[in-house]
Copies of this chain bind each other. A is one copy, B any other.
Amino acid sequence: MEIKIMKNIMEANDRIAELNRAMFKDRGVVPINVMASPGSGKTSVILQIIKALGTEIGIGVIEGDIASSIDAETIDKLGIPVRQINTGGGCHLDATMIKTVAQDLKLKEPSLLLIENVGNLVCPSTFDLGETVKLVIASVPEGHDKPYKYTPMFMAANVIILNKSDLMPYIDFNKDIFYDGVRAVNQKAPVFEISCRTGDGVREFISWLRERARPRA
Protein backbone atom coordinates (compact mmCIF):
# COMPACT_ATOMS: atom_id res chain seq x y z
CA MET A 1 0.00 0.00 0.00
CA GLU A 2 2.65 2.48 1.10
CA ILE A 3 4.88 1.36 -1.77
CA LYS A 4 2.10 1.82 -4.34
CA ILE A 5 1.32 5.31 -3.08
CA MET A 6 5.01 6.22 -3.24
CA LYS A 7 5.14 4.93 -6.82
CA ASN A 8 2.17 7.12 -7.77
CA ILE A 9 3.75 10.15 -6.11
CA MET A 10 7.02 9.59 -7.96
CA GLU A 11 5.28 9.14 -11.31
CA ALA A 12 3.25 12.31 -10.82
CA ASN A 13 6.43 14.15 -9.89
CA ASP A 14 8.23 12.88 -12.99
CA ARG A 15 5.38 14.05 -15.25
CA ILE A 16 5.46 17.56 -13.80
CA ALA A 17 9.27 17.59 -13.98
CA GLU A 18 9.04 16.88 -17.73
CA LEU A 19 6.63 19.80 -18.14
CA ASN A 20 9.04 22.00 -16.18
CA ARG A 21 11.91 20.90 -18.40
CA ALA A 22 9.99 21.80 -21.56
CA MET A 23 8.91 25.15 -20.07
CA PHE A 24 12.49 26.02 -19.08
CA LYS A 25 13.79 25.07 -22.53
CA ASP A 26 11.17 27.29 -24.18
CA ARG A 27 12.22 30.19 -22.01
CA GLY A 28 15.96 29.64 -22.57
CA VAL A 29 16.47 28.84 -18.89
CA VAL A 30 19.02 26.25 -17.74
CA PRO A 31 18.03 24.98 -14.27
CA ILE A 32 20.69 23.58 -11.96
CA ASN A 33 19.55 21.44 -9.01
CA VAL A 34 22.10 22.08 -6.24
CA MET A 35 22.12 19.25 -3.69
CA ALA A 36 24.30 18.58 -0.63
CA SER A 37 24.36 17.88 3.09
CA PRO A 38 23.54 20.74 5.44
CA GLY A 39 26.51 23.08 5.65
CA SER A 40 28.45 21.79 2.62
CA GLY A 41 28.41 25.22 1.03
CA LYS A 42 25.44 25.25 -1.38
CA THR A 43 24.80 28.94 -0.86
CA SER A 44 28.52 29.75 -1.03
CA VAL A 45 28.80 27.98 -4.39
CA ILE A 46 25.73 29.87 -5.66
CA LEU A 47 27.32 33.14 -4.55
CA GLN A 48 30.53 32.23 -6.43
CA ILE A 49 28.48 31.54 -9.58
CA ILE A 50 26.68 34.88 -9.26
CA LYS A 51 29.99 36.69 -8.75
CA ALA A 52 31.59 35.03 -11.78
CA LEU A 53 28.69 34.93 -14.26
CA GLY A 54 26.23 37.53 -12.97
CA THR A 55 27.31 40.19 -15.45
CA GLU A 56 27.36 37.98 -18.54
CA ILE A 57 24.19 35.94 -18.13
CA GLY A 58 20.80 36.22 -16.42
CA ILE A 59 20.67 34.39 -13.10
CA GLY A 60 17.71 33.48 -10.92
CA VAL A 61 17.70 31.56 -7.65
CA ILE A 62 15.18 29.35 -5.87
CA GLU A 63 15.99 28.70 -2.21
CA GLY A 64 14.61 25.55 -0.65
CA ASP A 65 14.58 25.28 3.14
CA ILE A 66 12.55 23.54 5.80
CA ALA A 67 12.32 26.85 7.60
CA SER A 68 13.85 30.36 7.48
CA SER A 69 14.76 32.66 4.59
CA ILE A 70 18.36 33.40 5.59
CA ASP A 71 19.87 32.37 2.24
CA ALA A 72 17.18 34.04 0.13
CA GLU A 73 17.83 37.33 1.93
CA THR A 74 21.56 37.03 1.17
CA ILE A 75 20.82 36.51 -2.54
CA ASP A 76 18.18 39.26 -2.64
CA LYS A 77 20.72 41.81 -1.37
CA LEU A 78 22.74 41.20 -4.55
CA GLY A 79 19.78 42.25 -6.71
CA ILE A 80 19.34 38.72 -8.07
CA PRO A 81 15.73 37.52 -8.58
CA VAL A 82 15.07 34.96 -5.84
CA ARG A 83 12.12 32.96 -4.54
CA GLN A 84 11.98 31.13 -1.21
CA ILE A 85 10.31 27.75 -0.83
CA ASN A 86 9.73 26.68 2.76
CA THR A 87 8.85 23.00 2.83
CA GLY A 88 7.52 23.18 6.41
CA GLY A 89 9.38 20.06 7.50
CA GLY A 90 9.59 18.41 4.07
CA CYS A 91 13.01 16.96 3.29
CA HIS A 92 13.26 17.77 -0.44
CA LEU A 93 11.94 20.00 -3.19
CA ASP A 94 9.60 18.51 -5.78
CA ALA A 95 8.61 19.41 -9.33
CA THR A 96 5.30 21.00 -8.31
CA MET A 97 7.04 23.44 -5.96
CA ILE A 98 9.39 24.47 -8.76
CA LYS A 99 6.52 24.84 -11.25
CA THR A 100 4.68 27.14 -8.84
CA VAL A 101 7.52 29.54 -8.10
CA ALA A 102 9.31 29.44 -11.48
CA GLN A 103 6.32 30.96 -13.25
CA ASP A 104 6.65 34.34 -11.57
CA LEU A 105 10.44 34.54 -11.54
CA LYS A 106 11.35 37.20 -14.09
CA LEU A 107 14.43 35.89 -15.87
CA LYS A 108 16.39 37.42 -18.72
CA GLU A 109 17.11 34.96 -21.57
CA PRO A 110 19.37 33.09 -21.60
CA SER A 111 19.45 32.42 -17.89
CA LEU A 112 20.78 30.06 -15.29
CA LEU A 113 18.27 29.08 -12.63
CA LEU A 114 20.12 27.94 -9.50
CA ILE A 115 17.85 25.80 -7.35
CA GLU A 116 19.20 25.26 -3.84
CA ASN A 117 17.56 22.09 -2.57
CA VAL A 118 16.96 21.28 1.11
CA GLY A 119 20.23 20.28 2.81
CA ASN A 120 19.97 16.52 2.61
CA LEU A 121 22.23 13.95 0.96
CA VAL A 122 19.41 11.39 0.74
CA CYS A 123 15.89 12.30 -0.39
CA PRO A 124 16.44 15.07 -2.99
CA SER A 125 18.32 12.69 -5.31
CA THR A 126 15.12 10.83 -6.25
CA PHE A 127 12.94 13.85 -7.06
CA ASP A 128 13.40 15.18 -10.59
CA LEU A 129 12.66 18.91 -10.65
CA GLY A 130 13.00 19.31 -14.43
CA GLU A 131 16.60 20.43 -14.09
CA THR A 132 19.28 20.19 -16.78
CA VAL A 133 22.14 19.60 -14.35
CA LYS A 134 22.26 17.89 -10.97
CA LEU A 135 25.14 19.52 -9.06
CA VAL A 136 26.16 17.59 -5.95
CA ILE A 137 28.45 19.25 -3.42
CA ALA A 138 30.53 17.25 -0.97
CA SER A 139 32.83 19.02 1.47
CA VAL A 140 36.18 17.97 2.89
CA PRO A 141 35.15 18.00 6.60
CA GLU A 142 32.34 15.53 5.85
CA GLY A 143 34.98 12.92 5.16
CA HIS A 144 36.10 10.78 2.25
CA ASP A 145 33.56 8.00 2.80
CA LYS A 146 30.41 9.86 1.72
CA PRO A 147 30.19 8.39 -1.82
CA TYR A 148 30.11 4.89 -0.28
CA LYS A 149 27.32 5.74 2.16
CA TYR A 150 25.13 8.08 0.12
CA THR A 151 25.41 6.20 -3.15
CA PRO A 152 22.17 7.31 -4.88
CA MET A 153 23.15 10.98 -4.62
CA PHE A 154 26.62 10.50 -6.11
CA MET A 155 25.14 8.21 -8.76
CA ALA A 156 22.64 10.89 -9.81
CA ALA A 157 25.18 13.73 -10.10
CA ASN A 158 26.05 15.32 -13.45
CA VAL A 159 28.82 17.30 -11.77
CA ILE A 160 30.41 17.06 -8.34
CA ILE A 161 32.11 19.75 -6.30
CA LEU A 162 34.44 18.88 -3.45
CA ASN A 163 34.21 22.09 -1.43
CA LYS A 164 36.23 23.49 1.49
CA SER A 165 39.52 22.25 0.03
CA ASP A 166 41.26 24.86 2.25
CA LEU A 167 40.48 22.61 5.26
CA MET A 168 42.38 19.64 3.78
CA PRO A 169 45.48 20.19 6.00
CA TYR A 170 43.41 19.96 9.18
CA ILE A 171 41.38 16.86 8.34
CA ASP A 172 42.12 13.18 7.71
CA PHE A 173 40.72 13.19 4.20
CA ASN A 174 42.00 10.56 1.78
CA LYS A 175 41.39 11.78 -1.77
CA ASP A 176 42.05 8.36 -3.30
CA ILE A 177 39.30 6.80 -1.21
CA PHE A 178 36.93 9.64 -2.11
CA TYR A 179 37.58 9.40 -5.85
CA ASP A 180 37.43 5.60 -5.85
CA GLY A 181 34.02 5.85 -4.19
CA VAL A 182 32.75 8.39 -6.69
CA ARG A 183 34.03 6.43 -9.70
CA ALA A 184 32.54 3.18 -8.42
CA VAL A 185 29.05 4.64 -8.93
CA ASN A 186 29.58 7.47 -11.42
CA GLN A 187 32.15 7.40 -14.21
CA LYS A 188 30.94 10.50 -16.05
CA ALA A 189 30.52 13.45 -13.69
CA PRO A 190 33.52 15.79 -13.56
CA VAL A 191 34.75 16.56 -10.03
CA PHE A 192 35.99 20.04 -9.12
CA GLU A 193 37.95 20.62 -5.93
CA ILE A 194 37.29 24.15 -4.80
CA SER A 195 37.33 26.45 -1.81
CA CYS A 196 34.63 29.10 -1.77
CA ARG A 197 36.55 30.72 1.06
CA THR A 198 39.87 31.20 -0.76
CA GLY A 199 38.55 30.99 -4.33
CA ASP A 200 40.88 28.09 -5.19
CA GLY A 201 39.64 25.99 -8.07
CA VAL A 202 36.50 28.08 -8.62
CA ARG A 203 37.62 29.26 -12.07
CA GLU A 204 37.80 25.72 -13.50
CA PHE A 205 34.29 24.95 -12.27
CA ILE A 206 32.94 28.22 -13.69
CA SER A 207 34.47 27.45 -17.11
CA TRP A 208 32.66 24.13 -17.11
CA LEU A 209 29.38 25.74 -16.04
CA ARG A 210 29.65 28.58 -18.57
CA GLU A 211 29.50 25.99 -21.38
CA ARG A 212 26.27 24.53 -19.93
CA ALA A 213 24.74 27.97 -19.39
CA ARG A 214 24.31 28.49 -23.13
CA PRO A 215 20.95 26.90 -23.69
CA ARG A 216 20.76 24.69 -26.76
CA ALA A 217 18.49 26.02 -29.50
Contact = CB atoms under 8 A, between A and B. Distances in A.
A148 B70 contact: yes
B67 A151 contact: yes
Contact of A68 (B122, B148, B167): B148
B122 A66 contact: yes
A142 B37 CA distance: 9
Interface stretch (A20-28, A53-61, A113-121, A202-210): A113-121
Nearest to A169: B170
Contact of A164 (B66, B118, B141): B141
Contacts of A123: 91, 120, 122-123
Contact of A149 (B2, B38, B167): B38
Contact of A119 (B89, B118, B150): B150
Interface string A1-17: 11001000100000000
Contacts of A2: 5, 9
Contacts of A18: none
Nearest to A163: B141
B38 A150 contact: yes
Contacts of A151: 66-68
Contacts of A145: 68, 70
A91 B122 CA distance: 6
Interface string A96-113: 000000000000000000
Interface string A63-106: 00111101000000000000000000101000000000000000
Contacts of A150: 38, 66-67, 119
A143 interface: yes
